[in-house]
């Protein structure tokens, strides 16, 4: 018999592809591929207690135990994938039957959906005659035995996924310690159904394929694809899915069940390999009806020995014992190949979590601690403000342009200047040239000599013009403070990120202070506008020089107007004032010269007014911001925090729930990773010992 199940060259070829190569991937050089014992160690199953795969398990066992421990520690939650054999297959393809054959136990089975949650099956050989079975789920352990196992799995499934037909991806672990079982950990997944049966949700297909994908996607997973001999392989849903994540099939192994039901053409199907199964096929016959496990194995052996068609199939690819041996080997190779990577990932993740924990605020235990922390926050926030508002240093926010405040404020001032300019120019174009001045002059005329320019006329025009632009500086102030407020709040919230109990009073304080400062700015700007309306004054010599420059045009302009005949072209180019139509001025000849002068004075003066407004606002804004940073903000925050609504320093002593939760999560994760590190350290030491 033993020659029947001896190892074939084809199998070792395939294994070779998966085998761990120390030269490539070992960081410490200790890990060796688990090499199988000679075929004599693989026993047959004549004898009740005979193992499917025997003592070379002793080497694999510690590897597998380590992986099982890691799984138990839930390192997968930390984003670390473990090598796993994942059983997939269409519904009723015989997945549970295969697992049952490997474990020598009875699992729930039937036509409907039975496997509704991922079932992690941990098979362990143990020397005593009595098998030991238990289920692990929802943090508890339920002992069971071969008689009740089916029932207990159903109860556990109902508890996890509800007692209808729903599915869930919370796994259920079944540990089978039994003499002679191969040391294997496998995950049985719900079978794929296209059509929901009565009571199942509409999206059952999406749900199941989601779970399956989650398990087979990681490169660390070995896909055990269960195919029924009665179907055409390329049409299997499970084949479609496994090919999506493993197109070359390098980590896919196929088990063909129900060989007894469809022996015709089976040999061709598995030799043709239409569906890219890189790790090869194994044809089996599972337990039928009430057969015992031992009877089933005998029937299987007999079938492949004697059936006219099935006996043609190479003995190295038939039978449950072959499947068990292949799986153990594949699993060992896969684990040794993944281990260095797992060690690295555990270390990386551990370091990352520890540094994150270090960055978290210390737990405050006294008022003095709290005061120190509070002052620290204020100090660092102020330093940030100085950097971004005053010194224009953006090292804290290199990529956030909104926080480059000196540049943004300068931009706003430029816009203000442009807007003021635009508004004045637009107004000029409305009326006929000089008519506004003439109308004002007509009203300002008094009993006196005609060659004195009445000052009231100039003031009237000035007041009108300033009145028209008065809303622009006010809007500017509002916009600028809105921006400043946003930046201030962002910076403050960033600095008290770890003390949520500080946030609301800090926010309130900043908002109050900014509201006050904004009010002051508004008063200030309205005052400035009012002052501009009150009188005309400047000591800037530019006024005189630009007025004289403009007045050079007076003489030619007046001459042109005097000589203007009825049919002459009546447009005059006035240089910087543009080209203007002048015919209408013929009717007001007495006023034109004064009006012209008035216009030129206003043009020269307006430049001064415009500059003065922008300069003044710019300086004022910087002054206010500086006051906010240097004088106002910390006092305001301290007042608010220590005041009746702030809660005071005592409140800082209570850690906020979100920070506490984060701290706890990190601590928990570090604990798991440290334990995992010990587990893998232990196993690599042992492997090193084997190597010696």
Shortest reach from residue 110's CB to ligand GDP, in Å: 6
Residue 221: closest CA among 74, 69, 343, 334: 334
Output 109 or 423, the one with its CB closest to ligand GDP.
109
Determine contact, residues 451/595, Cβ cutoff 8 Å: no
Enumerate long-range contacts of 194-201, CB under 8 Å, 24 or more apart: 194/237, 197/112, 197/113, 197/165, 198/165, 199/164, 199/165, 200/113, 200/164, 200/165, 200/166, 201/166
Output 91 or 594, the one with its CB closest to ligand GDP.
91
Output 181 or 208, the one with its CB closest to Mg ion.
208
Output 51 or 108, the one with its CB closest to ligand GDP.
108
Query: Residue from 115, 173, 207, 221 that binds Mg ion (CB under 5 A)?
Result: 115
Q: Is 96 in the site for Mg ion (CB under 5 A)?
A: yes
Query: Residue from 114, 229, 283, 343 that binds Mg ion (CB under 5 A)?
Result: 114
Enumerate long-range contacts of 666-670, CB under 8 Å, 24 or more apart: 666/353, 666/356, 666/357, 666/360, 667/357, 669/78, 669/349, 669/353, 670/350, 670/353, 670/354, 670/357
Which partner in ligand GDP, Mg ion, none is near 85 (CB below 5 to 8 A by kind)? none
Output 94 or 646, the one with its CB closest to Mg ion.
94
Shortest reach from residue 258's CB to ligand GDP, in Å: 4
Q: Is 260 in the site for ligand GDP (CB under 6 A)?
A: yes
* Sites for ligand GDP among residues 52-111 (CB under 6 A): 89, 91-97, 109
Q: How many residues bind ligand GDP (CB under 6 A)?
A: 19
Question: Cα separation of 140 and 305, whole Å?
Answer: 45
Q: Which stretch binds ligand GDP (CB under 6 A): 22-30, 43-51, 172-180, 257-265?
A: 257-265
Under DSSP, the state recorded for 82 is: -
Question: Cα separation of 318 and 320, whole Å?
Answer: 7
DSSP 207-268: HHHHHHHHHHSSTTEEEEEEEETTS-GGG-HHHHHHHHH-TT-TTEEEEEE-TTT--TTHHH
Determine contact, residues 350/73, Cβ cutoff 8 Å: no
Output 263 or 632, the one with its CB closest to ligand GDP.
263
Which partner in Mg ion, ligand GDP, none is near 178 (CB below 5 to 8 A by kind)? none
Which partner in Mg ion, ligand GDP, none is near 260 (CB below 5 to 8 A by kind)? ligand GDP
Shortest reach from residue 77's CB to Mg ion, in Å: 26
Which partner in Mg ion, ligand GDP, none is near 285 (CB below 5 to 8 A by kind)? ligand GDP
Residue 412: closest CA among 473, 492, 467: 473
Q: Which stretch binds Mg ion (CB under 5 A): 63-71, 110-118, 276-284, 682-690?
A: 110-118
Question: Cα separation of 69 and 679, whole Å?
Answer: 7
Q: Is 207 in the site for Mg ion (CB under 5 A)?
A: no
Rounded to 5 degrees, what are φ and ψ at 142? -115, 115
Q: Which stretch binds ligand GDP (CB under 6 A): 16-24, 135-143, 256-264, 474-482?
A: 256-264
Query: For binding to ligand GDP (CB under 6 A), which residues are involved?
Result: 89, 91-97, 109, 114-115, 191, 257-258, 260-261, 285-286, 288
Query: For binding to Mg ion (CB under 5 A), which residues are involved?
Result: 95-96, 114-115
């Amino acid at each position: 018999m033993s020659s029947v199940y001896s190892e074939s060259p084809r199998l070792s070829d395939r294994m070779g592809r998966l085998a761990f190569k120390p030269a490539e991937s070992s960081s410490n050089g200790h890990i060796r591929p688990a090499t199988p014992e000679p075929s004599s160690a693989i026993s047959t199953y004549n004898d009740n207690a005979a193992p499917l795969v025997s003592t070379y398990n002793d080497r694999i066992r510690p590897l597998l135990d380590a992986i099982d421990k890691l799984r138990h520690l839930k390192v997968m939650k930390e984003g670390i994938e473990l090598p796993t054999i994942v059983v997939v297959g269409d519904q009723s393809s015989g997945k549970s039957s295969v697992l049952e054959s490997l474990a020598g136990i009875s699992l729930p089975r039937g036509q409907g959906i039975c496997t509704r949650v991922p079932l992690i099956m941990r098979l362990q050989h143990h020397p005593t005659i009595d098998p030991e079975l238990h289920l692990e789920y929802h943090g508890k352990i339920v002992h069971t035995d071969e008689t009740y196992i089916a029932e207990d799995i159903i109860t556990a499934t109902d508890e996890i996924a509800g007692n209808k037909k729903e599915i869930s991806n919370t796994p259920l672990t079944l540990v089978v310690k039994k003499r002679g079982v191969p040391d294997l950990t496998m995950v049985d997944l719900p079978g794929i159904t296209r059509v929901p049966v009565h009571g199942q949700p509409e999206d059952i297909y999406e749900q199941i394929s989601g779970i399956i994908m989650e398990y087979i996607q990681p490169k660390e997973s070995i896909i055990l694809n269960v195919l029924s001999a009665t179907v055409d392989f390329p049409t299997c849903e499970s084949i479609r899915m496994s090919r999506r994540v493993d197109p070359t099939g390098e980590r896919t192994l196929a088990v063909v069940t129900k060989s007894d039901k469809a022996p015709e053409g089976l040999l061709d199907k598995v030799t043709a390999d239409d569906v890219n199964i890189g790790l090869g096929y194994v044809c089996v016959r599972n337990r039928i009806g009430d057969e015992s496990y031992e009877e089933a194995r005998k029937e299987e052996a007999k079938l492949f020995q004697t059936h006219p068609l099935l006996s043609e199939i190479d003995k190295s690819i038939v039978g449950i014992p072959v499947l068990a041996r292949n799986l153990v080997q594949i699993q060992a190779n896969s684990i040794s190949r993944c281990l260095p990577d797992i060690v690295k990932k555990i270390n990386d993740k551990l370091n990352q979590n520890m540094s994150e924990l270090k960055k978290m605020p210390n737990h405050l235990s006294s008022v003095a601690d709290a005061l120190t922390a509070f002052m620290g926050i204020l100090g660092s926030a102020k330093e940030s403000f100085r950097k971004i508002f005053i010194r224009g240093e953006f090292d804290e926010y290199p990529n956030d342009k909104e926080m480059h405040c000196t540049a943004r404020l300068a931009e706003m001032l430029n816009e203000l200047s442009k807007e003021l300019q635009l508004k004045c120019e637009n107004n000029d174009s409305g009326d006929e040239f000089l008519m506004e001045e003439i109308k004002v002059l007509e009203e300002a005329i008094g009993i006196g000599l005609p060659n004195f320019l009445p000052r009231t006329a100039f003031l009237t025009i000035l007041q009108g013009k300033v009145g028209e632009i008065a809303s622009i500086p006010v809007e500017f102030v509002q916009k600028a403070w809105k921006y400043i407020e946003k930046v201030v709040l962002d910076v403050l919230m960033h600095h008290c990120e770890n003390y949520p109990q500080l946030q609301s009073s800090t926010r309130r304080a900043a908002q109050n202070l900014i509201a006050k400062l904004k009010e002051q700015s508004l008063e200030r700007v309205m005052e400035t506008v009012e002052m501009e309306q009150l009188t005309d004054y400047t000591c800037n010599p530019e006024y005189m020089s630009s007025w004289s420059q403009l007045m050079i045009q007076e003489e030619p302009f007046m001459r042109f107007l005097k000589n203007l005949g009825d049919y002459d072209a009546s447009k005059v180019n006035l240089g910087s004032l543009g080209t203007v139509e002048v015919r209408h001025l013929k009717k007001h000849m007495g006023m034109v010269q004064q009006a012209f002068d008035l216009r030129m004075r206003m043009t020269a003066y307006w430049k001064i007014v415009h500059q003065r407004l922008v300069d003044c606002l710019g300086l004022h804004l910087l002054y206010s911001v500086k006051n906010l940073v240097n004088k106002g903000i910390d006092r305001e925050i301290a007042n608010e925090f220590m005041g009746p609504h702030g809660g005071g320093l005592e409140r800082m002593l209570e850690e906020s729930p979100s920070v506490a939760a984060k701290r706890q999560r990190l601590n928990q994760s570090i604990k798991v990773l440290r334990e995992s590190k010990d587990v893998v350290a232990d196993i690599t030491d042992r492997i090193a010992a084997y190597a010696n």
